[in-house]
Every structure is written in structure tokens, then in C-alpha cells.
Chain A
Amino acid sequence: MNPSPDFKTLRRQARKATFDRSLINQALKQSFLYLAPRRQLRNPVMFVVWVGTAVTFYIALADAFSAKPFGYELAIAILLLLTVLFANFAEALAEARGRAQAASLRSARADLKALRITEGGLEEVSSTQLRKGDLVRVTQGSLIPADGEVREGLAVVDESAITGESAPVVREAGTDHAGVTAGTRVLTGEIIVEVTSNPGDSFLDRMIALVEGASRQKTPNEIALSVLLSVLTLIFLLVVVTLPYIASFVGVTLPIPTLVALLVCLIPTTIGGLLPAIGIAGMDRALKANVVAKSGRAVEVAGDVDTLLLDKTGTTTLGDRQATEFRPVMGVSPERLRWAALAASLGDVTPEGKSIVKLAREQGAPVIEDKGVRFIEFTAQTRMSGADLPDGTRVRKGAPDRLTQLIKEAGHPIPADLPLLVEEIARKGATPLVVTENERALGVVALSDIVKIGIRERFAELRRMGLRTVMITGDNPLTAQAIAKEAGVDDFIAEAKPEDKLRLIREEQAKGRLVAMMGDGTNDAPALAQADVGLAMNSGTQAAKEAANMIDLDSDPTKLLEVVEIGKQLLITRGALTTFSIANDVAKYFAIIPALFAGTIPALGALNVMRLESPTSAVLSAVIFNAMVIPLLIPLALRGVRYRPGSADSLLLRNLLIYGLGGLILPFVGIKAIDLLVGLFV
């Protein structure tokens, strides 16, 4: 049984199907269930619409029973009901998508066999019977039955089912890479895993509960916006409620259904209806990037982060050191050194060894036949590697102190410039490797940290977004400075101890900044907990994952940058739709106000700038536009407005033009178009 392919298909489907039919059906059903008044009370704006619906339905019914015409009243009541349903649908669809995504992630771990370790030995149980603290033995080739931490042993694990990443990873007890995930396969090795969560209580399960709303709480930003929208609603409620009294003072009576229509068009229903969906969609997008957020707040705060704390290795630089330079000693030609280094590295499968071969070939070293060559592998005892060539030549490479010893033992002199070269390379932050031929020194190979391709541009982008990047490394200050300069980070901390991270976060926070960091080790846990956004790698220890407020299933160190973008996009989407919603009101006024007074003060027809057919069709068109705009904006709310990195000022200008000016003009066009259609029927 291989779960990977069908699981991946599931994932792909979940990604593709923004508006999958089954999701839409689910959401449609939910939108009716969400009509319950208690549910509606959670959203004051939509609750007002809900009450308006009830009032107009009542009037329509009363008119029907007293044999008065009631078509107009009923039409408004139905349109208002649709408005509420559309808003419910947006929320339900966002929930359904999150659920589908989480469920596809979870499907890999459904009912696996587990070998539980008991006092009497081993027993085979289903993974659903596993409890926190149980120890299970996972043998070569089998699937890991539950989320856990490796307690004993070392294994190469294929995590492609979860991460989509095909390169297998090493998971080892007692290291920062001890975390294993249910549904992943042990390729080689045998490990004993301690189960870290009860069934139904894993991070994914918790995230699903969050998406489904049971445990979802409004984020501070959502609360602030809700307050603003509620106040606006209250103001417009006052405007509309006082209007009939003022009108009767000048002898004008106003029909209640039209007043309700005016009220609903004025209050910010568009953003009010889409607000919950936008928040959930933010978590959905995080999940799509394989990041499990433990709260909506975490995603949102990511958008406001000022300082990013980044580890050097893996984030800024490739994890492995790469050969960058051959430095021959005096009297040795560069060709000779290249050739020897290449020969000594042919059998070397470590990334360092491969990089030496690559560099030598790039610089034109001749191809060496490996027939008859005896490769000497690196061991902890010899601390060098190399090869014995068929002609008897012995080439070696290794740490300077070890090879100096080798040269001395053979009774050869140490070239005077060798220690200088070694020191010079070390000072630049690179690792020197001495190369010898028949125990005579040829020169030094420099292995350096290579800054990741594109990371410099990424940091520059972050700077444009106003984020400060601080690189943390255990390296000496010289190396750290060299890499910091090359990668273009704003600041760095060298020779950092784990507690330095915590201290730095506290310092930044004391200055009023929000800090995000990524970590995987147990000693990262306090810092992850202290950071405003703590992103733990799924491969990390349980302590790190517990302390963080987000977990990256891919364990990709650059994921933090994506999370920041998702957060920013979430905040911008909210702002853009709020602007759009309020700007829309102007056109609706020009539709409804003339219609409201047209009967008694015909001269006010001059305000009917859109030349709408009749007062009835004007009001209906405005209400239809108001309702239709919600489903039309659902894709935007779920996917988020397009985000281009830039300064806050340029973003504001761009979005003001699109959503402010657009929101001002679009409804004039929309209402006029709907009016032309409605005019055919009324």
C-alpha cells in the first residue's frame, strides 16, 4: 500500500477546487442553517439586515391579508433574505474549503497499523487506539502511525505525502530533527517513536476546529473593524429611523419597506457579510502553503510584523558548505591543486565533496578515470578522506591540523605560506581544507557558506515592505558579517546562544516592534513562545511545536516570508473591501433618495442622475446591486486581493484608486444596468 499518489491527487483536487461543486453544495446547506438568529447576532451588520428582512416580510404578509398590493414589499423582503444568505454562503464556503484542505491533509493518517511497545513486548494495534505517551516501533518500509517524536534510533523518512517534497529527510532521536508526522514512510532504519497527541487532538484536528468556527474567536483586528462597522450601522440606523419624523414635519409620508431598503443599502453589508469569510480564507491560504496556524490571530499578526529573526543556516544560506576557491601554496600550480582536490573528492558523497568536484570541473580540471582508484572514506578516527590512484599516488584532503600532522609524520616540511592561507580563509568565514599529494602539501580548498539564490532579492523585497531582517548565527562575527553583507540582511547576531534569541525578541518588543521567528529546537521554544509570530518546523521537537503559534509542514526555513505575505494580504483584503463597501453607498443614495420622495416632491427627480426608470425599479435595483455584490466578491474575499510588495504609501494609493474610486463609480454603472433589466419586468 502506498498512500502517496492518491493522497497527492486529493491535495491537488483540494487546491484546484476553489469552487468545487460538493463544497458549494455543503456551503449552500450551511447558509440556510446560519439563518438562526443566534448565529446572526454574532455579526451586527448582518443582524440588522436580518431584522429588516423579518419586518418587510411581515408587511408583505399583512398587505396580502388585507388584499392590498404586496409585490414590491415581497420583492424587497426576498432580496434582503438573499443578502443574508449570500453573506452566510461566503462564510460557509470559506469554512468548507478550509475543512476540505485540512481533511485531505488528514486523510494520509487514517487508520494505520502500529506496533505498540508494551511491557510484554510488541502488540499490533490500530493507530486510532494510540494515546499520548505510547511508544511505537516503526520498522523499515512502514508508515509512521501517529505524530510523535523519535525516542530511539535514526531513520530516513519520506515525507512527500505531507510536504510534497521528494527528497527524504533524516529524523534522529535527541536532535532538533526528532519530530515525525503520521502518514510518512520510514525508508531506512528503525525507530521508536513516542506518540505526542491523542487521536483527534493533533494540530491539524485543532486547526479544523478553528476553521469550523466552534473555537474561532474574533481577532483584535476583526474586533476593531467590527466596532467601526457597528458604529456606522448605528449612525445609519439613526439617520433612517429619524427620517420619517422629519419628513412628516414637512408633510411627506415614507413607505417602511423603502426605508428598510435604504437602511440596508447604507449599512456596510458588503464588508459585513464578507468579514468572517476573509478571516477564514487567511487561514485557508496558510494551510495551502502547508502552514498550520493555531489561531486566526497568528496569521493576522504576521501581516503587521516589523522584525524577522532568521537563522543563518537553511534560511539565508544553503545548509551545506560549498567549495569556492583553490589556493595553492607557493611553488605549486593551480592545475596541480585542482587535480589533486578533484581526485581526493571523487569518492566523496558528502555535499562538500561533491561541491569540490563541481568547482574543479568548472575550472577545467581534467576528467579522472575512477577505474582502479581506491577511495579512502572519511572516518571520525582518520579525519581525512582521499584516494589512492592506480599509479600509487596518494591524495588526501582534510582539516588543517590533521593534515599538518600527516605531513610532519611523513617527515616533509610544512610550506611557510600554508598556515597563512589557512588563517586567511578562516578569517573570511570559510572552512579551509588542506590537500596533500603523497603527504606533501599542495594548497588549501576554501569551503564557504553559499547565500541562497534569490534570497537577497527576497530580503530587499521585505525591506520595501518595511520589515527588518536580523540574521542569527553561531558563527564568529567575521563570518557572520561577511554573510550578512552578501545576503543583505539589516542586522546580525554572531556567536548567538539560544537565550540570545529570547533576549533579542524582548528588546525588539520593548521598542514596540512585532517580531516573527522560525525555529525547530527545544531551546528555541522560549523564543518561539515569546515571538509574536512563532513558526515551528514540523520536523522540530514537540516542545518547539507546542510553543509556536504556527507549524510549517514543509519545514522550509523561508516559509516565514510567505506567512508574512499571507498576513499582509489578509489585512489589505479587509481594508480594500471596507473601502469598497462604503464608497458604494454614494451611488445607492442617488438611486433611493429621489425615489423615496418622488411621490410627494416631484422636483427632487432632478437628483435622479442615473435616469432610473421608476421609483420602484430604482429601489429594487439598488437592493439587487447591494445583494449581488456579495457573491461577486466572494472569489476576491477567499483568494485575497493581489498583493505587490511595496511601501505602505504606494499600496494605499493603489488600493484607494481601485477599491475607493472603483467602489464609487462601479455601482452607478451596476445600478443603471440592473434598472434597465428590472424596467423590462416592472
Chain B
Amino acid sequence: MLYIMGILILARYIPILAPLAIAGLLSTKRIAPQSLGTLRVETPVFALMTFSTILIVQLLSFVPVLVLGPIAEQLVGVR
């Protein structure tokens, strides 16, 4: 039980700490001035790209387990 708790804690906090570390690293980088060549991030296109990337990477990471669990359950149940 104890090691499951340990895993749960790690699984919770590593995904929180890692982005914080990246953000910390980025904050030390020099700021490039805005120009016409700068990619604007407040556009629908950029939002769509970011969202699609998140969606695809998450899908790829969790689909196998989802398929074994809920999806299989649903499909078998429908039968």
C-alpha cells in the first residue's frame, strides 16, 4: 500500500514540477522583441495547434490503457 501511495504522489507532483522547472528556465532567457516575423500566440491558429498537439500526445499516451479498460468494457457490454 505504501509504495502505491508513493507512486500516486510521484505521479501527481512530477507532472507539476516539470513544467514549473521549464517555466523557470524560460524566465531566464532573453526576451526577443516583437516584430512582424514573430509568431503571434493569441491567434486561433496557434490555439488550434497547441490544442491538437496536447490532444494527440495525450491520446497516444493513454489510448492503449483506455482500450484495455473502459473502451473494451463498453464494446463488450454493447455486444
Contacts and interface: CB of A to CB of B under 8 A. Distances in A.
A513 B32 contact: yes
Interface string B23-66: 00000001111011111100101101100110011011101110
A536 to B, nearest CB: 25
11 contacts: A236-B61, A240-B64, A266-B60, A306-B37, A467-B35, A512-B31, A582-B56, A586-B56, A593-B63, A603-B79, A653-B45
A652 B53 CA distance: 14
Interface string A249-263: 010100000000000
Interface string A433-469: 0000000000000000000000000000001111110
Contact of A585 (B31, B60, B69, B78): B60
Contacts of B32: 306, 512-513
Given A306-B35, A466-B38, A647-B37, A252 B56 contact: no
A235 B30 CA distance: 30
Contacts of B37: 306, 465-467, 647-648
B9 interface: no
B4 interface: no
B67 A593 contact: yes
A466 to B, nearest CB: 2
Interface string A592-630: 010011000101101100000000000000000000000
Interface string A228-268: 00001001100110010011001010000000000000100
A239 to B, nearest CB: 6
Nearest to A509: B30
A519 interface: no
Contacts of B78: 603
A604 B71 contact: yes
8 closest Cβ contacts across the A-B interface? A466-B37, A466-B36, A603-B75, A648-B39, A512-B32, A466-B35, A603-B76, A653-B45
B57 A601 contact: no
B20 interface: no
A656 interface: yes
Nearest to A307: B35
A647 B43 CA distance: 13
Nearest to B45: A653
A465 B35 CA distance: 9
A293 B68 CA distance: 53
A240 B64 CA distance: 9
Contact of A660 (B30, B35, B52, B69): B52
B72 interface: yes
B43 A649 contact: yes
Given A247-B68, A583-B56, A589 B63 contact: yes
A459 to B, nearest CB: 13
A652 B46 contact: yes
Given A582-B56, A647-B36, A652-B49, A606 B64 contact: no
B32 to A, nearest CB: 5
User: Which of B36, B43, B48 is most buried by chain A, counting CB atoms within 10 A of its CB?
Assistant: B36
B33 A463 contact: no
Given A252-B68, A597-B72, 8 more contacts: A239-B61, A466-B38, A583-B56, A589-B60, A593-B67, A603-B76, A603-B78, A652-B39
B54 to A, nearest CB: 12
A550 to B, nearest CB: 20
A511 interface: yes
B40 A648 contact: yes
User: Which of B56, B64, B76, B78 is most buried by chain A, counting CB atoms within 10 A of its CB?
Assistant: B64
Contact of B36 (A239, A252, A465, A604): A465
Contacts of B67: 593, 597, 604, 607
User: Which of A252, A266, A647, A648 is most buried by chain B, counting CB atoms within 10 A of its CB?
Assistant: A648
B60 A239 contact: yes
B71 to A, nearest CB: 7
Contacts of B76: 601, 603
A596 B68 CA distance: 11
User: Which of B30, B43, B46, B60 is most buried by chain A, counting CB atoms within 10 A of its CB?
Assistant: B60
Contacts of A593: 63-64, 67
B59 A586 contact: yes
Contacts of A652: 39, 45-46, 49
Contacts of B53: 582
Given A593-B63, A597-B68, A603-B75, A656 B36 contact: no
User: Which of B38, B45, B57, B68 is most buried by chain A, counting CB atoms within 10 A of its CB?
Assistant: B68
Nearest to B30: A512
A593 B72 CA distance: 12
A463 B56 contact: no
Contact of A464 (B36, B46, B60): B36
Given A586-B56, A648-B39, A653-B45, A607 B64 contact: no
Contact of B45 (A467, A511, A601, A656): A656
Given A239-B60, A239-B61, A652-B49, A603 B35 contact: no
A250 B76 CA distance: 14
A606 B68 contact: no
Nearest to A266: B60
B56 A604 contact: no
Contacts of A660: 49, 52
Nearest to A583: B56
Nearest to A661: B52
Contacts of B49: 652, 656, 660
Interface in B6-31: 30-31
Contacts of A236: 60-61
B7 to A, nearest CB: 12
